[in-house]
Chain A
Amino acid sequence: MPTTNHECPLPLVDTICPSTEEELIAVLKAAGPKKQPVYPLGAGTGLQMGLPVTREGIGLSLAAMDRVVEYPARDMTITVEAGMNFDQLQNTLRAEGQWLPLDPPCASRAQVGGIVATNAGGPRRFGYGTPREFVIGIRAIDGRGVPFQAGGRVVKNVAGYDFCRLLSGSRGTLAIITQVTWKLRPRPRSCAILMVRIDDGKRAENWLDRLNTSRTTPVAVQLEAGSSEAIGGGIFGIAYEGTSVEVDWQIDQMGAELREAGLTVETVLRDAETQETWSRWQEFAVSGDAVVRFRAHVLPHSTVQMLRSIQELLPTAQILAQAGSGIVDVRLPNYPSDGLTQTFTKNLTPLAMRLGGHLTLTYHATGQELTHEMMWGGATVPWQLMRSLQRQFDPNGILNPQRFISS
């Protein structure tokens, strides 16, 4: 069963758990004429993100649609139902020496459909990309109750519009995803994380510039920000995956590159030892006590600058950056004294824009002051066009309304 815990921010009158596409179609067809909202829940791990909802509706859980549809391991593809648990999917792949190099938060509970719908990535996105890079086929039911599919089960295919891409990250507003076909990768046999402390922001920035042309190929570059005395600095984690020969070589090479820059490796974690660090990184954005969580996404070379400005403005902020990708995830244990509008709309969002990116509020406990612009603000996004597209898929406006595209 899905998590419909007390933290669920949606006004649900009921939760329905269809076990077939036909049942799901019936639910949507019934809800449409009544204009009754349908909120896809996934495993409930990503529901905090989105604008506050006022319209009561039905919660939709696909937990009963969790089968492997087809796993031709030698073709390196798998087709699964959207309700499948992500860890369970990875375990199935592990048995064949394969995997999806994705590390979304709450992977032990999260479901495939939710991960695709939110395009939820993690620290490995630097090396491998986000979920949408791996989705090659999709089945879904639109807001009218019409089932459709796009893509297919082969790794290369340009027939028809790429709805795999369109639905990845569409947050349940266009259609309910029921099946996903993934392209797979061989599971790397070895892994290492090097930890390096760089307390000075300027040095951290220089080091990241050098890392961009390192002879090694990290799959993740993380920066755990230090205390506010060491503004802009912190502990870097540089992760490698591959054969043990490749990983060994990269540890040595990176050690040498660090020495050249006058830096030293503090710790090298190997294989099983890396587990704890991976999960700390992976869960950072959703763990800990926070009243506000946000993500600034800027051009990678500006990561440290963004991080420094956040530290200066919000001294209690807890920060983890995916420094290779320009992503700065922030948890605020208390509300900023200046208020949200001042902090975000006036300060941080325009800053993120000046640094070539945008800023998204991923959680806001009370929802007060929150506007569409503040939540998704910053980037030049053709929201009107998106609304028009949404109406084609969901003319009755029942799919996850108010939260994402609709104002």
Chain B
Amino acid sequence: MNASQENRPHMTMANSTVTLAQQLREIVGNERLLTARSDTLVYECDGFVLEKDSPDIVVFPETTQEVSRIVQFCHAAGVPFLPRGAGTSLAGGCLPVGGGVMIVLTRMRRILEINLRDRYAVVEPGVVNAWLTRELKGSGFHYAPDPSSQGACTIGGNVATNSGGPHTLKYGVTVNHVLGIECVMSDGQVIQLGGPLDEYPGLNLTGALVGSEGTLAIVTKVWVRLTRDPQSCRTMLGVFESVDDATLAISEMIGAGIIPAALEMMDQGILVAVEQAFQFGFPLDAGAILLIEIDGLDVGLDAQRQEIIDICMQSKAREVRLAATEQERLKLWKCRKQAFGAIGRLSPSYCTQDGVVPRTKLPHILRRIREISQQHDLRIVNVFHAGDGNIHPIILFDERDQQQLRRVMLASNDILQECLDCGGSVTGEHGIGVEKLSFMASMFSPQDLEVMERFRDVWNPTGKLSPGKMLPTAGACGAEQIHPGRRAAL
């Protein structure tokens, strides 16, 4: 599984690595640098566990200046290097392909400024998403992107992957909320793109940097937009006999021009696990449930809620329950956001996919997922951002069974291919990372990819920053691959 790792003599550090480690130690000191194999092993993968590779050196800078100096040394030494936040990426965005230096930004964790009047905040990249939310509580403003991993994931990581979250249906994804970025270029130069305003002269490089998965620069400071809290909200639970009925209701809602703040689906498979874990009182015999939240001015919400209930009932919902209290609402959201944690009750290992289809194609893709599940004799459960058409089929398996592992790969491929056939995407919020490299050539033409490469080359001319990510290297496109394998450094 770890081919390049075997080829690389890890146990005894090469002289050049020792020298580099010494240089970096002068910047960060002994306590913020790791080189022992037993220590660096912790950083061999992120939330994507199918591929692993240890970095040679892990450093924990605390300032932009330190990042800049570290990068200068890495650049001079010609070694691969990459940034890492909390390591919650599900696509291998933090996999240190080819080893090298991992720059962990979790010690840059200060909220530098909150300016409610001008509706922005400035944070360091290691600030955990939920910390900002907590800091803003009661202020009347919030930071809108709320990925399910928000209790752990960092804003720097959110910027790198353009994270979504349940409430992005109405409020938009990370790119819609990032105003400016300070970053360290691949040669160590520090630049600022954008700032506290929503527009600056010149090209919009802030937007282009969001979602670039660490392949263009290392983010050291972020200006984020703050959004006014909605006055009120209504949270509902639609209970459906079948997945088909639930997806039809979603399609009808969007078609009727209703944009809820969030619209999430859980199927029976996941419901059982979530119920065991949190005892919410979900009906275990239901085929699927929809978690629907609308927000805005209180005065308009009851009418909208009725409209939603009517649509659900017309789509053969068994019932629509209302979250009567704030506690009940928070518990519902806890169930949704921690659903992944509950999966351990179903299976020793699981693999989450992240496809997107046009919203009207949801009934179709869910049916196809059932067929694919049967075809490969694998159990697949679903919990996802239905309103965006962003599916997260979770394939359950046992990592120890190599045969099963192969079928997991085939099933994943089939599902993502179907998303593309529906006119969708192979990733809505997790990113390409290393996991989906092989799909880039199906989604984009060689010309599209060439233009992207030319764009990347200006930022990252040696390719040593986050190598082997996001763009398939030349020549790899035609290769038939089942396992999304690692590419050599550029």
Instruction: Give the interface of A toward B (CB within 8 A).
Output: 72-77, 97-98, 119, 125, 129-130, 132-133, 142, 146-150, 152-166, 168-170, 174, 185-187, 209, 212-213, 215-217, 242-243, 245-246, 249-250, 297-301, 325-326, 356-358, 360, 376-383, 385-386, 388-390, 392-393, 405
Contacts and interface: CB of A to CB of B under 8 A. Distances in A.
A300 B116 CA distance: 11
A158 B197 contact: no
A358 B200 contact: yes
Contacts of B454: 392-393
Contacts of B449: 160
Given A98-B257, A132-B204, A213 B140 contact: yes
B118 A326 contact: yes
Nearest to A174: B203
B162 A158 contact: yes
B162 A77 contact: no
27 contacts: A97-B257, A130-B198, A146-B451, A152-B424, A156-B356, A157-B428, A158-B162, A158-B432, A160-B440, A160-B443, A161-B455, A163-B455, A212-B116, A246-B296, A246-B297, A249-B297, A299-B196, A377-B201, A378-B201, A379-B202, A382-B191, A385-B205, A386-B203, A392-B454, A392-B455, A393-B455, A405-B202
Interface stretch (B36-44, B147-155, B169-177, B308-316): B169-177
A54 B286 CA distance: 70
B255 interface: yes
Given A243-B300, A299-B115, 17 more contacts: A74-B255, A74-B360, A148-B451, A149-B445, A152-B425, A154-B389, A158-B427, A166-B455, A186-B257, A186-B259, A212-B119, A213-B116, A246-B299, A249-B299, A358-B197, A389-B205, A405-B202
Interface of B: 115-119, 140, 161-162, 164, 168, 172-173, 175-176, 191-193, 195-208, 210-212, 228, 231, 251, 254-255, 257-259, 296-297, 299-300, 303, 356-360, 385, 388-390, 423-432, 436, 439-440, 443-445, 447-452, 454-458, 470-471
A332 B199 CA distance: 23
A379 B201 contact: yes
Nearest to B258: A186
Contacts, number: 245
Contacts of A185: 259
Given A185-B259, A386-B205, A389-B203, A300 B360 contact: no
Given A153-B358, A242-B297, A243-B303, A158 B431 contact: yes
A77 B356 CA distance: 14
Nearest to B259: A186
B204 A156 contact: no
Contact of B211 (A125, A162, A379): A162
Contacts of B299: 245-246, 249
Contacts of A119: 199, 204
Q: Quick one: which of A75, A119, A301 has the most chain B CB within 10 A? A: A75
Q: Quick one: which of B118, B210, B303 has the most chain A CB within 10 A? A: B118
Given A165-B175, A381-B200, A159 B425 contact: yes
Nearest to A164: B207
Top 7 nearest A-B pairs (CB, nearest first) are A165-B207, A186-B257, A376-B201, A74-B255, A157-B425, A156-B428, A392-B454
A162 B213 CA distance: 11
Contact of B203 (A130, A377, A405): A405
A380 B193 CA distance: 8
B211 A170 contact: no
B359 A75 contact: yes
A76 B254 contact: yes
Contacts of A162: 162, 175, 207-208, 210-212
A161 B299 CA distance: 41
A119 B455 CA distance: 21
Nearest to B387: A155
A390 B205 CA distance: 12
A379 B200 contact: yes
B209 to A, nearest CB: 9
Contacts of B457: 392
Given A133-B172, A133-B176, A149-B448, A376 B297 contact: no
B201 A217 contact: no
B254 A74 contact: yes
Nearest to B139: A213
Contacts of B255: 73-74
Given A119-B204, A162-B175, A170-B203, A157 B198 contact: no
Contact of A154 (B117, B176, B231, B356): B356
B191 A385 contact: yes
Contacts of B448: 148-150, 160
B249 to A, nearest CB: 13
Nearest to B185: A385
Contacts of B176: 129, 133
